Structure 1
Amino acid sequence: MEKRIINPWKWQDQRSYVQAVEVKNVESTLYISGQTAINADGLSSAEDMKSQLLDALRNLEQVVTQAGYRCGDIVRLNIYTTSTAELWPHFPVFQDWIAKHGIKQALTLLEVKSLFETLKVELEATLVK
């Protein structure tokens, strides 16, 4: 697999994403449903945004690993949140996770009216290898 990062500018580097990722000679592609702060028993978290973000990242990582991929294989990541204002102070948690795994992904951050039950953040990913 070959990946090419397209960044016409530098400002996105501080926000931990890239403008585009071209992928060639792909062995396989994995599309992951939105991962949230739902525990192994299927219970939605009622915790604060930071706790829910950490749980969603752990759940995403678990699905990635169980599928036989690495987090570094993420090429597209969508973040849905019920409050960008509430998420933004905790964005360094996300950025640290991205840096830890060496991820260079196209990213979309969307504020939505609501998520399932008491959830505040959801992460949807596409991976290639």
Structure 2
Amino acid sequence: PGVVVQQGGHLLAYISNTYCVNPTPLVAVKDTEVLPGQEYDPAGKGVSFFKVYPNPTLGLFTLELDEPGTLVFVEIYTMLGEQIVNKDISGLRKYEFDLSTQSNAVFIIRVLKGETIGFERIIKQ
């Protein structure tokens, strides 16, 4: 009683004698491996050695490292995990990226500097 299913919708219901037993959670867990010499960040944000601005952005944004590195790679991912940028910016302190061709969304920036990895979110409006 009181349940409405819209046209084109589906409803699955059943009666059970197990009552209110907690169901198995539908969460997938991935183990994280920390390589020797690599810093670990339990909060999952990564090590802060760079900044991105402006954030939010209309498309163009700058990634600025605290100091230039000899091996620096930047990867940008959609929230679905699709890699849209893979750029070597070794030796540079600042680099301007352009997301203007992308839809308005949140993107994940992953920066690998030597054996250090950092993450940041950027919002494209």
Q: Shared fold by TM > 0.5?
A: no
TM-score by length of 2: 0.26
Higher helix content, 1 or 2: 1
Return the index of the structure with the highest Cα Rg. Answer: 2
**Using CA pairs below 8 Å that are at least 6 residues apart, which structure has the higher relative contact order?**
1
TM-score by length of 1: 0.25
Higher strand content, 1 or 2: 2
